[in-house]
Amino acid sequence: MTAEYQWALWGVWVVLVTFVVQALVAAMAKGRQPGAIPGKMPPNLSHDSFVFRAHRTFMNSLENSPLFFGTVFLALFMGTSPGWVTGTVWVFALARIAHMVLYYAIATERNPSPRSYFFLLGLVANLVLLGALPFV
């Protein structure tokens, strides 16, 4: 099984590394703030603050990860087509990276923001794989 899903598993690895990077960036950005309290975000922060954006980027990834990992591993256990699994995993992985970069770079309260499209792309990739499980 590992050989046929090798590229999908590498995509999962990329997602995990992305989450680790996000956790480190968020922790370092917050920890550098004067009077930082572990585990507590200052309530006055918003999108104009990199600390807020780094925190929300990581939290958003954590909010998306149960559905993603559940879908991927169910697909692996069900023997879903390696092409479908690999394609959707890599779309999700690249969409999460683009979402992260845009969230770090653009401070906006606008909805939808440029990052929203990559959030949606990752969600669609996940839903496509979830919907395809019984059929491919």
Q: Per-residue pLDDT tens for 61-101?
A: 999 999 999 999 999 999 999 999 999 999 999 999 999 99
Q: pTM (2 decimals)?
A: 0.91
> In 10 A of CB 126, how many CB atoms?
22
DSSP string, 16-42: HHHHHHHHHHHHHHHHTSTT-BTTB--
- 51: in domain: yes
- Distances in Å between the Cα of 85 and the Cα atoms of 23, 36, 41, 120 are 26, 41, 37, 18
Encode burial over 94-122: b for 16+ CB neighbours within 10 A, e otherwise.
Answer: bbbbbbbebbbeeeeeeeebebeebbebb
User: What single DSSP character describes residue 108?
Assistant: -
Q: Which domain holds residue 110?
A: 6-32+46-132
- 37: in domain: no
Q: Kindly report the CATH number assigned to the domain that includes residue 22.
A: 1.20.120.550
Q: Does position 135 have pLDDT exceeding 90, yes or no?
A: no
Q: Name the least confident of 28-42, 49-63, 122-136.
A: 28-42
User: How many independent structural domains does the chain possess?
Assistant: 1
